[in-house]
Amino acid sequence: MTDQWVVSVGHTFYGPTESEETARDFAVFLTAEVDPAAVYKLHSPTRELLANYKTFGASRRYPDEWPPKPGGIWQDRDGNRWACSAHPRLNSYMFCLAHPGDDPAEEIWRRFGPLRLVASISPTEEEAPF
């Protein structure tokens, strides 16, 4: 995806164009002939979503090991340790001795993140991650 630019005069927008230079030249023309013009880089929801595929705000940056896999031990922002468990064909769930129940990994990230992987083991069917 290439960057796109628009030129505005008040609440009127012209463009988009893929050339920032063309947009700036047109803004100079509009400023001289009409009213002061400004150049803006065009942002779209789709572009933002693609640019932020693994980043949802500074505190929501997913580590490379995400999503969690069974046997992973994660630490939240408060120092609590979370274990990941899942059946191979089901979503990952995480549980912590400091919090009752278990929740989907995405919910844990939303409520207690960011998390970081502190240990990873390959559990067998008889082993528990703690």
Give the pLDDT score at 46: 59
Q: Is-contact 23 17, C-beta < 8 A? A: yes
Q: pLDDT above 90 covers what percent of the chain?
A: 12
- One domain for residues 84 and 110: yes
Q: Is-contact 81 96, C-beta < 8 A? A: yes
Task: Tell me, yes or no, whether 130 lies in a domain.
Answer: no
Q: What is the pTM of this model?
A: 0.45
Task: Tell me, yes or no, whether 92 lies in a domain.
Answer: yes
Cis peptide bond prior to 67, omega within 30° of 0:
yes
The arithmetic mean of pLDDT across residues 39-68, rounded, is 63
- One domain for residues 25 and 44: yes
Domain span holding position 28: 5-51
Cis peptide bond prior to 70, omega within 30° of 0:
no
